[in-house]
Amino acid sequence: MPCRISILAIGRARGSPESELARAYLARLPWPVATKEFEERRKLTPGERREREGALLLAGLPKGARLIALDERGRSLTSQAFAEHLGRWTGGGSGDLCFAIGGADGLSEEVRQRAEMLLSLGSMTWPHMLVRLLLAEQLYRAHTILAGHPYHRQ
């Protein structure tokens, strides 16, 4: 069974220009990729919202999946280093690899603790809908690096 990749994200992006472009990048990958969106609509404090969204993300995580959480306090990698990690994570062709993208209030501590890696896309703050697009492009870029394709130029 091939490696399966999931992107677990807070907020609905369907039909947005960002989601269409992200979908185009994801369609180029050799692995099946599923995007699961979660939304909490109740009026909650930021802390309550972060905890509830964290519970939704963890509930959507396939059993035994490797979790990589996108977090501004995480490790910032070069595209080459990310490709090397992706090669190890998908090596062997089995299992589930999930990327979690929190909402505007960030990730719960429970998600952060469950993650194998906290990954930062840089020190700037990005809207969580753009984070999906940036992640999709970096997944595609990592694939091309691993395949020796000239998309990534150094």
CA distance 114 to 118: 10
H or E, element range at 52: helix 46-59
Looking at the domain assignment, is residue 153 inside a domain?
no
Q: Cα–Cα distance between 69 and 100 in angstroms, integer?
A: 5
- Residue 75 phi, psi (nearest 5): -75, 135
CB 68 within 8 Å of CB 117: yes
Distance CA 59, CA 36 (A): 11
pLDDT of residue 12: 86
Q: What is the pLDDT of residue 149?
A: 83
- CATH code for the domain of 62: 3.40.1280.10
Residue 41's pLDDT is 87
Domain membership flag for residue 70: yes
Q: Is residue 152 part of a domain?
A: no
In a domain, 154, yes or no: no
Q: Can you give the pLDDT at residue 93?
A: 59
The predicted model scores a pTM of 0.92
* Tokens 């909490």 -> residue: 40
Per-residue pLDDT tens listing for the chain (154 residues): 568 999 999 998 777 888 899 999 999 999 999 999 999 888 999 999 999 999 999 999 999 899 999 999 999 999 999 999 999 998 865 679 999 999 988 999 999 999 999 999 998 888 888 999 999 999 999 999 999 988 766 6
Question: Is residue 12 in a domain?
Answer: yes
What was the pLDDT predicted at 91? 82
Taking alpha carbons only, the member of 19, 44, 13 closest to residue 108 is: 44
Spatial contact of 12 and 99, defined as CB atoms under 8 Å apart: no
Given a contact cutoff of 8 angstroms between Cβ atoms, the answer to whether 115 and 69 are in contact is: yes
Gap between the Cα atoms of 105 and 122, Å rounded: 17
CA distance 21 to 33: 14
Q: Specify the number of domains making up the chain.
A: 1
Structural domain range at position 129: 4-147
Give domain status of residue 65, yes or no: yes
Q: For position 40, what pLDDT does the model report? A: 87
